[in-house]
Chains A and B, each alone.
Chain A
């Protein structure tokens, strides 16, 4: 099931290659779900929670290798378990939540380190660490696609059902509470949605990097539009475009360094980073422009 980054995976053409085909489907699903969920994650200020869930889920991924099952199931189980734990901890203050998440994610990664050590020493799977942490999209077996899509459909369905209360709570939980919305229950449902998204992202670009697909497209989209639906659409579009471009570049890198494929995740997160920087340009230009206007106004007032 697991091979190293092998040159053999690449057939003659980008569009006819099976590994590329699977990678495109997986990354599209992950980017679509993460793009949409990411907008809510940012509004709710839970980016760090998303990162913590992903890091902890890496322990599940590492465990899956030992058990000989697809890491998807390990990611999913541990992410969901972590979400339930966070809910049970019931930490109301943002600072407390950040602290707890940071400490638990440290412990989770420690377990990951141990499990990966066992992976490497007992199974001679040296690629496991890279695979779990940074992803190996061209290695994903096609047979896992139905499970991935199922998780994606579940996440989006939950989001569709709870869209309005979730949006309301995310905008302002106090205001939502005055309208009789069970803020805490909605928060837990969102943690479940977040776990599902992070699982998909971890499969696509690795547990450690998964936050990039969750946060970066949404952050860029939110800079460019003030309307929720545009932000959701744009975020998904950015995520999917970056993933496809990343896969294409990784595929092409085979020719650059004679038979070695660079990690897809590197290209995807780099493209996302550049898009995020670029998304700040309209605001920066407007600010510079506005700044000179304001200066002139002050001058004319001063003259009276």
Chain B
């Protein structure tokens, strides 16, 4: 467990919200520059787990260590991109300003122009390939562009761990692919461990080393092929789940019954002709 390369270790974490158990005995590790997907349906506790790691949400049991220290002050050591950040259209805020707020937005006093800060912001703009729209209003950017700026915003303190909450939700297919590719590049360039939550694991399958699958407050953790299996997920959900692989993609389907012949099979459906 205490491997020197371990950046995040979550041991036996349980969390309750208003007396209701949300997470029960969650265990996993993240090594340096590892890419891990946190997969689960809406309401499965993904956000709660991320907030618990950040120290914003108290846990009832267990320990969380970030870079071998308890997660008491995670502001600089962990980068975080929250879910559904709304940036209003009329904000007098350029993309580079938002990244800059990540650096010194918490400080008091007037922000005198700082060379160090502007160099850092330029580096971050380059890292997320956002130089082209650095001087545009954030409100005018597309969802994918905003996501890149938020990632740069979270990275400016050079954290060893980056948490992203559903960053792929509400993006179009192309922006999803671009964001995943960008995160993978950032992971290598910065040597940062990434934990990304998503309700659909498919866009992540090409890049993630491991998966944490959340359901019923419990988690299955391991390599994708070890976790995303009919037996493992059925055991996690507590009822029958089918895992179907199609062209390198995965479909997780709730069966609810084990008798596969219960539904009459229409053979004609198998021979649908392609419409020219």
Contact = CB atoms under 8 A, between A and B. Distances in A.
A178 B80 contact: yes
Contacts of B254: none
A38 B219 CA distance: 49
B111 A163 contact: yes
- The A contact surface, by secondary structure, is helix
Contacts, number: 77
A161 interface: yes
A286 to B, nearest CB: 12
Interface in B211-250: none
A179 B82 contact: no
Interface stretch (A57-65, A168-176, A246-254): A168-176
Nearest to A42: B90
B82 A168 contact: no
Nearest to B107: A164
Contacts of A163: 109-111
Contacts of B148: none
Given A168-B105, A181-B106, A228 B82 contact: no
A163 B135 CA distance: 21
B97 A228 contact: yes
Nearest to A172: B85
Contact of B136 (A161, A165, A178, A226): A226
Interface string B31-47: 00000000000000000
B191 interface: no
A251 B123 CA distance: 56
A39 interface: yes
Contact of B87 (A160, A168, A171): A171
Interface of B is mostly: loop
B94 interface: yes
Interface residues of A, number: 28
Contacts of B90: 42, 222-223
B159 interface: no
B140 to A, nearest CB: 8
Contacts of A302: none
Nearest to B165: A178
Given A43-B91, A226-B137, A172 B86 contact: yes
Contacts of A164: 101, 104-109, 111
Nearest to A175: B85
Contacts of A171: 87, 91, 93, 98, 101
Interface in A200-228: 222-223, 225-228
Given A163-B110, A163-B111, A178-B80, A225 B105 contact: no
Nearest to B154: A178
A236 to B, nearest CB: 14
Nearest to B153: A175
7 contacts: A43-B92, A161-B109, A178-B82, A179-B102, A226-B93, A226-B137, A227-B94
